[in-house]
Amino acid sequence: MRNGKKTAASRPPFEIRRSKIQGRGAFATRAIKKGDRIIEYTGERISWQEADRRYDDEHMQRHHTFLFTLTRRTVVDAAVGGNDARLINHSCEPNCEAVIVQGHIFIEAMRDIAEGEELTYDYAYERDADAGEEEEKLYVCRCGAPGCRGTILAPAPERKSHTHHSAARHALDKGRQQKKRA
């Protein structure tokens, strides 16, 4: 504060309001510079076993949790004791990223962000090797970015091919199928 007035740096960097992406979102209240640490993602630290008990994806019509992986054993559930960081929405073309430093999760700006712009980061949920259309629908993305991949799941790994010729690739796939049957 200077002369009884809040300076731009002392104002909160974002406010919560309605979002076109999903429900409510976080919107910059001032310009944010690339590399700025915006907020720590907080909540109750629980085991994966407890997270699975609390949130059963198989019985949800639409995925909606505030879980964030911290380690192989620990997740942060921002629905319990969390802050407004839990309302930062996903985007396939984000302006922020989540960074884990010494057991803490921080949201940082990946580029300069203009006042009024919605803050987003790529949730990149871990994708099971056998994830298919059902999982894509459960974890649907509504970011509207030009490069939207349609899901908040991490990008699917690209298939590696030793040839670019489709007929040769088809023959290779057919040979693999015959080996599986044998």
Q: Minimal CA–CA distance to 127: which of 91, 156, 89, 92?
A: 156
pLDDT at 99: 97
* Predicted TM-score (pTM) above 0.85: no
Q: Is 91 exposed, middle or buried (0-12, 13-18, 19+ CB in 10 A)?
A: buried
Per-residue pLDDT tens listing for the chain (182 residues)? 455 555 556 678 999 999 999 999 999 999 999 999 999 999 999 999 999 888 876 665 555 678 899 999 999 999 999 999 999 999 999 999 999 999 999 999 999 999 999 999 999 888 777 777 777 778 889 999 999 999 888 887 775 544 444 343 334 444 444 444 44
- For the chain, the structural domain boundaries read 8-181
Is 112 in contact with 28 (CB distance < 8 Å)? Answer: no
Is 27 in contact with 89 (CB distance < 8 Å)? Answer: no
Top-level class of domain 8-181: mainly beta
Look-up: residue for tokens 């999760």? 105
12-36 b/e (C-beta count within 10 Å ≥ 16 → b): ebbeeeebebbeebbbbeeebeeee
168 is written with which tokens? 């040769």
